[in-house]
Protein backbone atom coordinates (compact mmCIF):
# COMPACT_ATOMS: atom_id res chain seq x y z
CA UNK A 1 0.00 0.00 0.00
CA UNK A 2 0.93 3.66 -0.24
CA UNK A 3 1.84 3.73 3.46
CA UNK A 4 4.45 1.01 2.87
CA UNK A 5 6.10 3.16 0.21
CA UNK A 6 6.29 6.05 2.67
CA UNK A 7 7.96 3.77 5.20
CA UNK A 8 11.01 3.61 2.96
CA UNK A 9 11.49 7.39 3.28
CA UNK A 10 13.13 9.20 6.17
CA UNK A 11 10.24 11.40 7.33
CA UNK A 12 9.55 13.67 10.26
CA UNK A 13 5.87 13.69 11.27
CA UNK A 14 4.25 17.06 11.78
CA UNK A 15 0.77 18.39 12.42
CA UNK A 16 -1.23 20.19 9.76
CA UNK A 17 -0.58 23.51 11.50
CA UNK A 18 3.18 22.84 11.65
CA UNK A 19 3.17 21.91 7.98
CA UNK A 20 1.12 24.97 7.07
CA UNK A 21 3.46 27.28 8.97
CA UNK A 22 6.60 25.64 7.57
CA UNK A 23 5.58 25.23 3.94
CA UNK A 24 4.57 28.24 1.85
CA UNK A 25 5.89 27.08 -1.52
CA UNK A 26 4.26 25.92 -4.74
CA UNK A 27 0.92 24.21 -4.18
CA UNK A 28 0.62 25.31 -0.55
CA UNK A 29 -3.14 25.96 -0.86
CA UNK A 30 -4.00 22.46 -2.14
CA UNK A 31 -5.30 21.27 1.24
CA UNK A 32 -7.93 24.01 1.29
CA UNK A 33 -9.08 22.73 -2.12
CA UNK A 34 -9.18 19.18 -0.74
CA UNK A 35 -11.32 20.40 2.13
CA UNK A 36 -13.77 22.54 0.16
CA UNK A 37 -13.80 20.97 -3.32
CA UNK A 38 -13.58 17.30 -2.30
CA UNK A 39 -14.95 17.46 1.27
CA UNK A 40 -11.88 15.60 2.54
CA UNK A 41 -11.38 15.87 6.26
CA UNK A 42 -7.89 17.21 6.93
CA UNK A 43 -7.79 15.07 10.09
CA UNK A 44 -7.51 12.03 7.80
CA UNK A 45 -4.17 13.29 6.49
CA UNK A 46 -0.81 12.60 8.08
CA UNK A 47 1.77 15.29 7.31
CA UNK A 48 5.50 14.82 6.95
CA UNK A 49 8.68 16.71 6.25
CA UNK A 50 11.18 14.60 4.29
CA UNK A 51 14.53 14.70 6.08
CA UNK A 52 16.53 14.53 2.83
CA UNK A 53 14.32 17.14 1.13
CA UNK A 54 13.28 19.36 4.05
CA UNK A 55 11.77 22.02 1.78
CA UNK A 56 9.13 19.51 0.57
CA UNK A 57 5.84 18.54 2.17
CA UNK A 58 4.29 15.09 2.02
CA UNK A 59 0.75 14.31 3.11
CA UNK A 60 -0.75 10.83 3.30
CA UNK A 61 -4.54 10.39 3.17
CA UNK A 62 -6.26 7.22 4.33
CA UNK A 63 -9.95 6.64 4.93
CA UNK A 64 -11.49 3.20 4.50
CA UNK A 65 -10.33 1.98 1.06
CA UNK A 66 -9.25 5.42 -0.20
CA UNK A 67 -5.53 6.01 0.08
CA UNK A 68 -3.12 8.40 -1.61
CA UNK A 69 -0.12 10.61 -1.00
CA UNK A 70 0.63 14.15 -2.10
CA UNK A 71 4.10 15.61 -2.33
CA UNK A 72 4.66 19.33 -2.75
CA UNK A 73 8.03 20.31 -4.14
CA UNK A 74 8.74 24.06 -4.20
CA UNK A 75 12.05 23.74 -6.05
CA UNK A 76 10.61 21.90 -9.06
CA UNK A 77 7.22 23.59 -8.60
CA UNK A 78 5.34 20.31 -8.82
CA UNK A 79 2.48 18.60 -7.02
CA UNK A 80 2.85 14.81 -7.08
CA UNK A 81 -0.16 12.59 -6.42
CA UNK A 82 0.34 8.86 -6.05
CA UNK A 83 -0.91 5.62 -4.64
CA UNK A 84 -0.55 1.97 -5.68
CA UNK A 85 -2.33 2.61 -8.98
CA UNK A 86 -1.22 6.02 -10.21
CA UNK A 87 1.66 8.45 -10.09
CA UNK A 88 0.98 11.89 -11.54
CA UNK A 89 2.91 15.15 -11.47
CA UNK A 90 1.19 18.49 -12.03
CA UNK A 91 3.53 21.43 -12.43
CA UNK A 92 3.40 25.17 -12.83
CA UNK A 93 2.98 24.85 -16.61
CA UNK A 94 -0.63 23.77 -16.05
CA UNK A 95 -2.74 26.93 -16.07
CA UNK A 96 -5.06 25.93 -13.20
CA UNK A 97 -2.97 23.32 -11.42
CA UNK A 98 -5.28 23.12 -8.37
CA UNK A 99 -8.27 22.27 -10.58
CA UNK A 100 -6.16 19.65 -12.40
CA UNK A 101 -5.14 17.99 -9.13
CA UNK A 102 -8.79 17.94 -7.97
CA UNK A 103 -9.85 16.41 -11.30
CA UNK A 104 -7.20 13.69 -11.04
CA UNK A 105 -8.23 12.78 -7.51
CA UNK A 106 -11.94 12.77 -8.40
CA UNK A 107 -11.51 10.60 -11.49
CA UNK A 108 -8.65 8.29 -10.53
CA UNK A 109 -8.73 7.94 -6.75
CA UNK A 110 -12.15 8.65 -5.21
CB contact set of 82 (below 8 Å; sequence gap of 6+):
2, 5, 68, 69, 71, 88
Q: Report whether pLDDT(59) > 80.
A: yes
Whole-number pLDDT of residue 67: 94
Question: What residues are paired with 73 via a beta bridge?
Answer: 78
The answer to whether residue 86 is domain-embedded is: yes
Mean pLDDT (the chain, rounded): 94
Contact 47, 91 (CB under 8 A): no
The answer to whether residue 50 is domain-embedded is: yes
The answer to whether residue 2 is domain-embedded is: no
The answer to whether residue 52 is domain-embedded is: yes
Range of 91's domain? 11-109
pLDDT-based confidence at residue 50 (cuts at 50, 70, 90): very high
Task: Give the pTM.
Answer: 0.93
Whole-number pLDDT of residue 4: 74
Q: Report whether pLDDT(1) > 70.
A: no
Q: Report whether pLDDT(96) > 80.
A: yes
Domain tally, the chain? 1
Q: Report whether pLDDT(5) > 90.
A: no
Amino acid sequence: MTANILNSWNLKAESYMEAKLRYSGFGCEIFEFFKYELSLNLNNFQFYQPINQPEDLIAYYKLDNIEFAVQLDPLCEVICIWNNSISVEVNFFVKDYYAKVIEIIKTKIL
